[in-house]
């Protein structure tokens, strides 16, 4: 699953694809690099990011989704926590709704998904009143069994048809924060999690802060010309390692920014 952030304040790409033409071109490039799905997001979930209105979010994502759905054959997903945005995106051609809050951010999301008839990616968050609290409230990282229980509870809110179409996401970097051990445990138990809730598992470790923490603990890393900083290339390499760990454990969908790098690694890992 290739990521397209159409936000000016993305933690990963600094707003490089905030314009429609840039975002659509990036979508074409991701598919050429091997993406099987595209995930378009119009609101940043990074720590400290400003929340945006549904109207502003729709203005960002709907034109991009309309073009991608018309020009490409791969399914397009919308990354949103708002039911109103989900409805507009599906009308524009999206076939999946990726909700990092699992319906907690908008009580209307469950009914919207039931009515829309699309795949719903149910993300795991602890029970909070806002996304900002996830990054600011101190809490022990959950075990994978606790994540499974939380996701099962979110799935029970959905109607039978929506439940049958649901995928789940353990929320790397959200509930476990930047704790490397907690995030790696979720990756290692991706298959167990999927079996526990009866759904395919999506993981999104790409460029997350726990990878940076892990690399920093390991000390300076090699870079062209000598010792270098932990930059985007280093985080993308670390992302591949996390994805291979999750894939081997049974994850069905790997959500990443650098599709080409992961595709090459998976080609070798799976033997072509």
pLDDT tens track for 185-214: 999 999 999 999 999 999 999 999 999 999
> Using CA atoms, how far apart are residues 134 and 155, in angstroms rounded to an integer?
20
Report whether pLDDT(224) > 60: no
Position with higher pLDDT, 130 vs 78: 78
Q: Which residues are paired to 167 by β-bridges? A: 121
Within 8 A by CB and 6+ apart from 41, the residues are 3, 4, 5, 6, 7, 61, 78, 79, 80, 98
pLDDT tens track for 126-163: 865 455 555 555 578 899 999 999 999 999 999 999 99
Least Cα distance to 98 among 178, 56, 37 occurs for 37
Report whether pLDDT(10) > 50: yes
pLDDT tens track for 230-271: 889 999 999 999 999 999 999 999 999 999 999 999 999 999
Position with higher pLDDT, 2 vs 228: 2
> Which pLDDT belongs to residue 219?
73
> Which pLDDT belongs to residue 177?
87
DSSP 156-189: HHS-HHHHHTEEEE--TTTTTTT-HHHHHHHHHT
Query: What distance lies between CA 4 and its chain's CA centroid?
Result: 10
Q: Which residues are catalytic?
A: 208, 255
Average pLDDT estimate for 108-119 = 96
The CA distances from residue 147 to 122, 132, 137, 176, 265, in Å, are 12, 19, 17, 10, 28
> Which pLDDT belongs to residue 44?
84
Mean pLDDT of the chain: 91
Average pLDDT estimate for 112-132 = 84
The predicted model scores a pTM of: 0.91
**C-beta separation of 61 from 38 below 8 A:** no
Average pLDDT estimate for 69-93 = 98
Report whether pLDDT(167) > 80: yes
> Which pLDDT belongs to residue 226?
47
**C-beta separation of 149 from 168 below 8 A:** no
Least Cα distance to 257 among 229, 230, 238 occurs for 238
Pairing of strands 96-99, 76-79: parallel
């Amino acid at each position: 699953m290739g990521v397209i952030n159409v936000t000016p304040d993305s933690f990963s790409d600094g707003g490089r694809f905030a314009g429609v033409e840039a975002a659509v071109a990036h979508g074409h490039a991701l598919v050429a690099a091997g993406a099987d799905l595209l995930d378009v997001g119009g609101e940043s979930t990074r720590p400290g990011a400003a929340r945006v209105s549904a109207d502003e979010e729709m203005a960002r994502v709907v034109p991009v989704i309309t073009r991608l759905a018309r020009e490409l054959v791969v399914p397009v997903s919308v990354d949103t926590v708002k039911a109103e945005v989900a409805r507009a995106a599906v009308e524009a051609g999206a076939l999946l709704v990726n909700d990092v809050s699992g319906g907690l951010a908008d009580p209307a999301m469950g009914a919207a998904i039931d009515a829309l008839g699309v795949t719903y990616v149910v993300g795991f968050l602890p029970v909070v009143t806002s996304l900002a609290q996830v990054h600011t409230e101190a809490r022990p990282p959950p075990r994978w069994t606790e994540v499974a229980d939380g996701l099962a509870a979110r799935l029970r809110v959905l109607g039978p048809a929506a439940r049958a179409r649901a995928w789940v996401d353990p929320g790397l970097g959200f509930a476990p924060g930047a704790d490397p051990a907690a995030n790696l445990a979720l990756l290692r138990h991706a298959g167990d999690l999927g079996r526990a809730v009866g759904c395919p598992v999506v993981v999104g470790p790409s460029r997350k802060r726990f990878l940076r923490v892990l690399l920093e603990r390991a000390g300076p890393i090699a870079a062209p010309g000598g010792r270098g900083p932990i930059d985007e290339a280093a985080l993308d390499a670390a992302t591949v390692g996390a994805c291979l760990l999750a894939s081997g454990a049974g994850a069905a969908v790997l959500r990443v920014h650098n599709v080409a790098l992961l595709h090459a690694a998976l080609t070798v890992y799976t033997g072509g």
